[in-house]
Structure 1
Amino acid sequence: MSMTQAWAALPLSKPVMTTIVKHLKYKAMTPVQSKVTEVRKQDVYAVVVSPTRELATQIAEVLDQFLLETPQFSRQLVIGGVSSAAQDARRLAEHGANIVVATPGRLHDLLQRKETGPRLQAAVKALEVLVLDEADRLLDLGFERQLSEILSWLPRQRRTGLFSATQTDEVQKLVRAGLRNPVAITVRDKQTGDSRTPHQLENFYMVCSAEHKLGTLIHLLRQRVALGHKVMVFLSTCAMVEYFTVVVKRLVKCPNVLSIHGKMKNKRFKIFDKFRKMESGVLLCTDVMARGVDIPSVHLVVQYDPPSSAAAFVHRCGRTARSGHQGAALVLLLPTETSYIQFLQLNQKVTLTEQEAPPPPAPFTTELRQLQLADRANYDRATRAFVSFVQAYAKHECRLIFSVKELPLGEIATAMGLLQLPRMPELKTAEVANFTPADVDLNSVPYKNPEREAARQVKLAAYRETGAWPGAKPAKAKPWSESKAKRQEQKQKKQKRKEVKEEKKKKKRSREVDQDEWDELASEARALKKLKKGKMSKRQFDASIGMDE
């Protein structure tokens, strides 16, 4: 049960508190009137499992507001990236927790640890409520095994709530496995109707060429930053986020440019919390920020790269126009991708309005190449970004719309300021036009970091001496005889397949001949019966079986 614009934590917190209070026989939910029959510090009455640290933190913050009315209860947040598992275990042992908000990996770790496992397993025997928030996301991220084991440690007599924005087959399996007598509740906005985005959200699309796509993004961000707006930009890969963060900082010249992606570990929550508290700024991110999290006052969501799934498109848009506020979402499309608009209309019931693209801006190729020449780290980022983008594009679920063969790879590489095209399988057979490599020796491009550059120089000297880059895996050269034998084996297999095919054709022709003979025999039998019954003369019979000559 969920909807894109709903507060992520509020639908969870109130039912959790109400159920616990009823179970413990509270008379009222005020500090003065609340009298509990028994609250034991070490008993866990409710567990809330969330797919990401950011969402878990927000749920804990909303729960804290309810706990002001019920101070007898304690709450613990156990997630990675903030404290270690040992620290969480120590805190649970010392202070206990009546309500645990956790990510599945950390909760699973604590339940199976030798130091805390038995104690926590005993504590959850008092469990009344289990909440699995963003259940489909929990399964998408590969937590199915951990969830199954967590459920095995919990009492069967409990109330379980699955909150999910989308109902997938995996979620239905989890419902069947983890819920008894399930009841489905769907939440909809009356003003929205069948649309899966809130009515106060304006959805736009803009068509621009690959050559001007980056320039268009920079133009939009400069406008929004000047207005003091808060903008989220979604990109397809972690490498794209890393490179575009450098680019946006350089070209937009905004002090508040942040980035978040799934490969960030310890600093991810700090960046997320910083952006939440900002009044204006730009956040570049992957789909790790596409759902569940509530960031106040986001004015615009830009989807520079369309997401890999149609459902993710709706989740991305849902980062703005929250809590009744107005917001806008914009997706940038290439001319070959415009069929995506109709696809979203049919698949997600989302209607997009075209927004006219600004006049084609001057390309930033020269400036971006200077950025890479000044620091080899930026050259590495640009190369990884291009490679990861092409690979992600090739894996898109809508391959009929997003076809790698139709990608203007040369224009994209030029717009991103690549010095040279990287070596990758997708470029081996592709005809790359509209790209001119930079006239520069790549080995002469230095790292700005002295330590990295010193290490590179050592490897470069070894490479010039031996012809092999230190640490690189040497290509396995197969003997000529082995290669010849393999080719001969492939040729024999091909010949065998051809023979099998011919044999099948012969059998088919044989069956057709046999059928003709049976048909002829049946016809003669019918004629003979007619002759015996006097319904046919001897001459007619001879003519029917071909003996009249």
Structure 2
Amino acid sequence: MSAVPNHAGSWSTLPTPLSDETLEQLSLMGFDTMTPVQAGAIPLFLKNKDVVVEAVTGSGKTLAFVIPIIEKLLGREDPLKNHEIGAMIITPTRELAQQIYTVFDSFIQNHSRSEQLKLGLYIGGTTTLQQDMVQFNKTKPRILIGTPGRLEEMLMKSNKLINTKELEVLVMDEADRLLDMGFSQQLNHIIAQLPKQRRTGLFSATMTDAISNLVKAGLRNPVRVVVKVEDLENKGNTQRTPASLEIDYIVCDPEQKWTQVIRLLEHELQQLEGARKFIVYVATCACVDYFFKLLKKQASLSGYDIHSLHGQMETKRRSATYTSFTQLPPAVPAILLCTDVASRGLDIPDVDYVIQVDPPQDPKAFAHRCGRAARAGRKGKATVLLVRGREEAYVEFLKLRKIPISRANYLLPNGVTKDNSFIPDNDDETEKDVTSLQVVDPSVDQLIHDFRQVVKTDRDMYDRGIKAFVSWARAYSKHEASYIFRIKDLDLGRVATGYGLLKLPKMPELKNAKQVTFEEVDMDWNAYSYTDKNKELKRKRELEEAALKPKKPTPDTRRPKKTTAWSNKIEAKDRKADRRLKKDRKKDYLKRKQDSQQDTMDDNDDDLDDNDWDDLAKEERLAKKVRKGKISRQDFDAMMNDDDLDL
């Protein structure tokens, strides 16, 4: 393990001097000194070493590979030509790829030797593979930046359009997430197309067993660089978050969560030195869509520029949202409501505050979410909201994971706070599990009323709310820390109330719940309409079609089974007996015929055959008369017996 200096020096102290143009650009960007991760990784890269870098989020990992790549390509004796590439950077998300592209571009756009440093961004979504291949053939980039899927297609399906023989550096950024997202097969295919004599760098905030396996497969004698943050309160301990980041938690009841979120935003907006850029994390994409529309309607948040971002958005819209939020001036108050798509790797500038409405399903994502604030030495805050009761065990869980966190007071109106912590008396068994006191907050009802009023304006909002609640419940039930986040211990009715739902959906989690506290809104559901004319026409058409359909009979109105007359049953029984009699007589006839053939001459057999067939025909005629009621069964038997005597 390489020893990383505790205090990083200036760029001029690097063993291998950087080019003048690189140093000039670093100065323009305001980076006068190196961070510890840069001081540890850059010299190793420049000395042709493979590196595995583990450092807290926001520690400057991107420059730790951007600068060595630029310097190595500029230092080549033979410039790259034709379709040769010199470096490749693989990232898990499109947004991170775009961010890295922007960092590279800031060094290259005015460079005197920019021809040797041309960039190519390949992330899919906005372009087809064919379009990317045409663009590659036209621009002939030397540095490829992209996501695993598209880069694999470029290498495997382009008929060797890309020449990788001269590739010098491969970088996998956020390597643990690349593997978590299921890209291991694509990574193996990409690595198989690259020369073995190359430098490889793995960069991540956390190291996992899967990364260790990747290290064995893709790196040659790597040097591991680990940058840790010392816990100032507990000397000798380390933590996984930047020292400039302050993390706390608020304990409340399920229906009080969004009241606390809005009060945090209001409080910071009113402070002269309050936070201006917020990221608010929720559990699912449906929750982002629903609460984005609700927050936009809150008069107290009108001073904020509100954006939404999640993985199910169209690529163009996602890119536009990301660009719009990142390019806002630092002084403009803004909120980005998002899922974990914006929790890793993205260097969104000037983020002051991170609020987690729902703790992440993957506990590892907690530190990454918080790390969107306090980047590159800036101060920042992060708050997570926990439901009173079992969820409070999450605090100890985080401390075990070396994430320092403190308790914050419950926020009341007008900037008043209330300490709702409670220390139970060890002698009182009834209070043993109580850790927080319930806060009676009448203004919560007002917010829920406001939410419901917004939902009532458009039936589409009701649909979105139901979808958000159901998706949240499913995500909560699949939480990795399931011994802390148990859906059976949660009053889902109170959660639904906090969502501003008008009535509860039908779902298994509610059916099996121990307790459901919810008051349904009384309203005319047939008159509840969509503001979208097409949706409303479709709804009305479906209502009309349903009204025309015959109603399914209920057990009380179902028509009784049609009974069969007793006389018909007797007739059916007689017909069955006739068929049986006919079958038995034919069997007797065939047996008699077989016996007679052994005792008589052939000519007599012919006469007998004719007589027997006549008898059989006569028998059939008499049987028909019996069926029609023209003769009785006794007459039938008498006639047949007379014939047998004559015979």
2:361 match: 308
Tell whether the 8 Å contact from 2:229 to 2:240 is kept in structure 1 after alignment. Answer: no
2:114 match: 71
1:262 aligns with 2:345: no
Q: Distance in 1 between matches of 2:61 and 2:206?
A: 14
AA aligned to 2:310 is H
1:2-60 CA distance string (max 9 Å, x none) = 321223421120121233234x13xxxxxxxxxxx433142101000111111111111
1:339 match: 393
Tell whether the 8 Å contact from 2:510 to 2:516 is kept in structure 1 after alignment. Answer: no
1:94 aligns with 2:94: no
2:610 match: none
1:119 aligns with 2:166: no
Q: Distance in 1 between matches of 2:229 and 2:73?
A: 29
Tell whether the 8 Å contact from 1:8 to 1:292 is kept in structure 2 after alignment. Answer: no
Q: Distance in 2 between matches of 1:104 and 1:43?
A: 19
Tell whether the 8 Å contact from 1:304 to 1:331 is kept in structure 2 after alignment. Answer: yes
AA aligned to 1:213 is K
My pick for the range that moved more, 159-168 or 357-366, is: 357-366
Q: Distance in 1 between matches of 2:231 and 2:519?
A: 52
1:67-99 CA distance string (max 9 Å, x none) = 244423211111124433332211100111111
2:405 aligned to which of 321, 345, 352: 352
The normalised TM-score by structure 2 is: 0.67
1:108 aligned to which of 152, 158, 174: 152
Q: Distance in 1 between matches of 2:314 and 2:407?
A: 38
Q: Distance in 2 between matches of 1:108 and 1:460?
A: 50
Q: Distance in 1 between matches of 2:149 and 2:546?
A: 43
Q: Distance in 2 between matches of 1:254 and 1:431?
A: 42
Q: Residues 274, 186 of structure 1: CA spacing in aligned structure 2 closer, same or farther, 3 A cutoff?
A: same
1:148 aligns with 2:171: no
Tell whether the 8 Å contact from 2:175 to 2:204 is kept in structure 1 after alignment. Answer: yes
Shift of the alpha carbon at 1:180?
2.1
Q: Distance in 2 between matches of 1:16 and 1:430?
A: 56
Shift of the alpha carbon at 1:467?
7.3
1:418-458 CA distance string (max 9 Å, x none) = 11111111111214433111112434321111112112222
Shift of the alpha carbon at 1:213?
1.4
Q: Distance in 2 between matches of 1:84 and 1:222?
A: 44
The normalised TM-score by structure 1 is: 0.79
1:179 aligns with 2:179: no
1:166 aligns with 2:216: no
Q: Distance in 1 between matches of 2:382 and 2:472?
A: 22
2:250 match: 206
Query: Which residues in structure 2 correspond to 1:108-507 (within 5 Å)?
Result: 108-113=152-157, 116-120=158-162, 123-189=163-229, 194-227=238-271, 229-251=276-298, 252-254=301-303, 256-266=305-315, 267-278=317-328, 279=330, 280-336=333-389, 337-346=391-400, 348-359=401-412, 360=441, 361-363=443-445, 364-466=447-549
Q: Residues 205, 378 of structure 1: CA spacing in aligned structure 2 closer, same or farther, 3 A cutoff?
A: same
- The CA RMSD measured in Å over matched residues stands at 1.8
Q: Distance in 2 between matches of 1:403 and 1:436?
A: 23
AA aligned to 1:317 is C
Tell whether the 8 Å contact from 1:130 to 1:161 is kept in structure 2 after alignment. Answer: yes
Q: Distance in 1 between matches of 2:82 and 2:96?
A: 25
Tell whether the 8 Å contact from 2:306 to 2:334 is kept in structure 1 after alignment. Answer: yes
My pick for the range that moved more, 47-56 or 191-200, is: 191-200
Unaligned runs of at least 5 residues, structure 2:
1-52, 413-440, 552-647
Tell whether the 8 Å contact from 2:259 to 2:444 is kept in structure 1 after alignment. Answer: yes
Shift of the alpha carbon at 1:189?
3.9
2:73 match: 20
AA aligned to 1:89 is M
Q: Distance in 2 between matches of 1:41 and 1:458?
A: 62
Q: Distance in 1 between matches of 2:136 and 2:366?
A: 39
Shift of the alpha carbon at 1:216?
1.2
Tell whether the 8 Å contact from 2:61 to 2:203 is kept in structure 1 after alignment. Answer: no
Q: Distance in 1 between matches of 2:524 and 2:547?
A: 14
Q: Distance in 1 between matches of 2:459 and 2:340?
A: 28
My pick for the range that moved more, 234-243 or 449-458, is: 449-458
AA aligned to 2:532 is N
1:321-358 CA distance string (max 9 Å, x none) = 01111100001111111111111001x21121111011
Q: Distance in 1 between matches of 2:61 and 2:261?
A: 29
Q: Distance in 1 between matches of 2:135 and 2:210?
A: 34
Unaligned runs of at least 5 residues, structure 1:
26-36, 469-549
Deviating beyond 6 angstroms after TM superposition, the runs of 4 or more aligned structure 1 residues are: none
Tell whether the 8 Å contact from 1:41 to 1:98 is kept in structure 2 after alignment. Answer: no
Q: Distance in 1 between matches of 2:396 and 2:493?
A: 28
What percentage of aligned pairs have identical amino acids?
Answer: 40
1:508 match: none
2:34 match: none
Structure 2 counterpart SS, 1:434: coil
1:520 match: none
Structure 1 counterpart SS, 2:280: strand
My pick for the range that moved more, 197-206 or 10-19, is: 10-19
Tell whether the 8 Å contact from 2:304 to 2:335 is kept in structure 1 after alignment. Answer: no
Shift of the alpha carbon at 1:220?
1.2
1:80 aligned to which of 96, 117, 124: 124
Q: Distance in 2 between matches of 1:111 and 1:276?
A: 32
Q: Distance in 2 between matches of 1:135 and 1:162?
A: 6
1:10 aligned to which of 36, 60, 63: 63
Q: Distance in 1 between matches of 2:376 and 2:525?
A: 51
Shift of the alpha carbon at 1:281?
0.4
Tell whether the 8 Å contact from 1:9 to 1:58 is kept in structure 2 after alignment. Answer: no
Tell whether the 8 Å contact from 2:228 to 2:239 is kept in structure 1 after alignment. Answer: no
Structure 2 counterpart SS, 1:296: coil
Q: Distance in 2 between matches of 1:394 and 1:202?
A: 29
AA aligned to 1:134 is E
2:99 match: 58
Structure 2 counterpart SS, 1:333: strand
Tell whether the 8 Å contact from 1:7 to 1:294 is kept in structure 2 after alignment. Answer: no
Q: Residues 265, 142 of structure 1: CA spacing in aligned structure 2 closer, same or farther, 3 A cutoff?
A: farther
Q: Residues 254, 432 of structure 1: CA spacing in aligned structure 2 closer, same or farther, 3 A cutoff?
A: farther
Shift of the alpha carbon at 1:206?
0.7
Shift of the alpha carbon at 1:382?
0.6
Q: Distance in 2 between matches of 1:208 and 1:127?
A: 55
| Structure with greater Cα Rg | 2
1:72-129 CA distance string (max 9 Å, x none) = 321111112443333221110011111111111111222233xx34212xx1122111
